Amino acid sequence: MFTKAKNIDTTFRQFRLFCFLITCCSSAITCFTIYRSISVESSRNETVLILPTGKVVEAVTTDRKENLSAEIRDHIRTFHEYFFWLEPDDRLIQSRISRALYLADGSAKREYENLKESGFYTNIISGNVSQRITIDSIQVSNNGYPYTFRCFARLEITRPTTVALRNLVTEGRLREVKRSNLNSHGFLIENWSVTENRDISVKQR
């Protein structure tokens, strides 16, 4: 009688242990499934498919801090190319300068107005002059805010009889603004100034 009761008690304990193990395994599997589902969904939300020229391209979103230096440099490069890359075409000049002014504050507009008043753009058009800019390097200090920068570049000025090469250095700072179609990086250049703009060489064509 006692042996029978003991066997029942042992069987009950084994069954209870078995149920406990099954419950733990089920809970672990459920938690893992939930975790994997959240991870997959989060990864899917960071992926965007775009269709440039009819081809599917995957674009992945990242934290802005990961690409901050690259975005700053590209913003500065874009501004300088719009502002300094000129052809003897009034509409083209106005279009490029207009785009450049969306990327900077009134300091860039003042520089543009000074050049305009001095007859710089008129001389570009009447003299059939082409001006191109090559960015050598951009030094950015993004430790503090607003971010400061210094841009080193070369200007190649092609006239009917000569080709001049000039050294260009500019500096300023950037603050963050809302992104837009005309300012995709969401930065605004402030206190921008040209600190050096001198001839390196002049060659006959």
pLDDT given for residue 54 in this prediction: 52
pLDDT number for residue 44: 53
Instruction: Please classify residue 82 by burial: count the beta carbons closer than 10 Å to its beta carbon, then call 0-12 exposed, 13-18 middle and 19+ buried.
Output: buried
Digit-coded pLDDT (tens) for 93-133: 999 999 999 999 999 999 999 999 999 999 999 999 999 99
pLDDT tens digit sequence for 42-58: 555 555 555 555 555 55
Of 168, 188, 184, 165, the residue nearest 176 (C-alpha): 188
CB atoms within 10 A of CB 162: 12
pLDDT tens digits for 60-76?
Answer: 555 556 688 899 999 99
